Each structure stands twice: as structure tokens, then as C-alpha cells.
Amino acid sequence: MKWKLTIGCLYPELLNLYGDRGNVRCLEKRLLWRGMEAETVSFYAGECLDLSGVDILLLGGGSDREQAIAGRYLLENRKAIVRYVEENGVLLAVCGGYQLLGNDYRTEKGTLEGLRLLDIHTEWRPKRLTGNVILKSPLASSPVVGFENHGGRTFIKGARPFGRVIKGFGNTGDSGYEGVLYKNVIGTYLHGPLLSKNPELGDRLIGQALKQKYGAGVRLPPLSDEAEYRANRYMAVR
């Protein structure tokens, strides 16, 4: 049997900052290199979300303006998204997309309502948190590297963070933590694109999705990942 995963890309016309779309390419390649099949389905603003055939869902980042538009469409489809996540669907949400998983995002111009998937919230501050980031995450043995640029500070209360900040700002600039983990969801501020510089994370999403779709015991054949780790080390050393 040939294994196949379907990657769902939410609102690529609105949420695609700093190459977030590269996460889609990266997942596709990692599947194809292993002789598996990959299909990508993009969902555009205004469409009714049918996530029944989706194995990995990606939500990128955007400016406050684009995020406000995307947020409205997400809310219209809240039921489908909550169900997908609660049934252990795999979701990677980056920056603006990460903020929208929470209760709300309080900006200088008003409050954007979030999906309330997680009991976290975000508050805007005038000083943007920008630069390269290094994390230690329980999901990867190598340091996780990426780039952040956000005005929002995300308060995750008792939720599990994605990683501990070694360099950079992370969720609030002073909590010492970055992102959030919940079931098969990763929420993070890291653009990059994240998965090309952190191949372990890409494989983690693929592994979780294969397990969801085909059952336990899926072992991914290793890839050389020489270029990916060169990029990762270059950023970590710098």
C-alpha cells in the first residue's frame, strides 16, 4: 500500500508571512523523498471548511489587518476546526495563526476574537519582538531555530510551552518560554519556514499524521537531511 497524506493550508492568500508556505513544500518533499504521496489542499477565505480528508493542517502568520480578516473566516468554521483538533488532528499554527488559537488578541485598535481552542490570550504592545530565535524543545533533540516578528505577547497560563527560549523573545519576551503544545497541535511564533530548518519537527508532524491515519507502528525511514542540519547549525552557532 502506498501511504498518502493530505496537507491542508488555511487561507494562504492572507496568512503567509516570511515563507510560512515553505512549511507546506517541506512536508510534501519529505513525503515524496520517502516514496509516499502528498496532496495539498488550500482553503481560501469564504469557503466552507471540510477537514474530513485533511491529515496535517497549517495556519500561517499575517499582519494584524490580514489576521483580522482570516480570524473572521476561522470563527465561521470554528466547529470543524475544534472537532479536527479534539480528534487528534495534526495542526501547526505560526505567529498570527498561533495567536488565533487562543481566546482573543487584544490589539491597539480593538480585540480580535480567537478560536478558543486553548485557554491562552495575546496582548499587543508597541515594541515588536523581532529577531532570530533558538529554543530547546521536548519535540526535537537539536535546537529549534527560527525567526520571530510580533507585536503580540501570548500568555499561555498553565499550558505546555513548545520550548524554552535560549535566544530571542518567545511568547512574551520575559516568560522564558515559546509557543504552546496541545494534543497534536504546535502553536509557535517561529517563521523561517520552521520545518525546513528543523527537520525533526517536520517528521514529527508526518509521523503523528501517519499514525492517525494508518494506526500505530509507523516508522519513517531516515533521510540524510545534511543541508537541513547545516542550516540549523549555522543559525544556532550564529
Residues that bind ligand GLN (CB under 6 A): 17, 61-64, 67, 95-96, 149-152
CA dist 26 and 48 (Å) reads 26
Residue facing ligand GLN at closest CB distance: 61
Q: Which residue, 189 or 210, is less far from ligand GLN as judged by CB?
A: 189
Q: Which residue, 99 or 142, is less far from ligand GLN as judged by CB?
A: 99
Q: Is 95 a catalytic residue?
A: yes
Q: Exactly one of 9, 26, 121, 191 is catalytic; which is it? A: 191
Q: C-beta of 129: minimal distance to ligand GLN in Å? A: 8
Q: Exactly one of 9, 26, 95, 121 is catalytic; which is it? A: 95
Q: Is 9 a catalytic residue?
A: no
Q: C-beta of 219: minimal distance to ligand GLN in Å? A: 35
List CB contacts of 4: < 8 A, sequence separation 6 or more: 36, 37, 38, 39
Q: C-beta of 4: minimal distance to ligand GLN in Å? A: 30
- Of 146, 139, 91, the residue nearest 115 (C-alpha): 91
DSSP string, 157-189: TTSBPSEEEEES-TTTSSSSEE-EEETTEEEE-
Q: Which residue, 61 or 161, is less far from ligand GLN as judged by CB?
A: 61
CA dist 230 and 92 (Å) reads 23
Q: C-beta of 89: minimal distance to ligand GLN in Å? A: 22
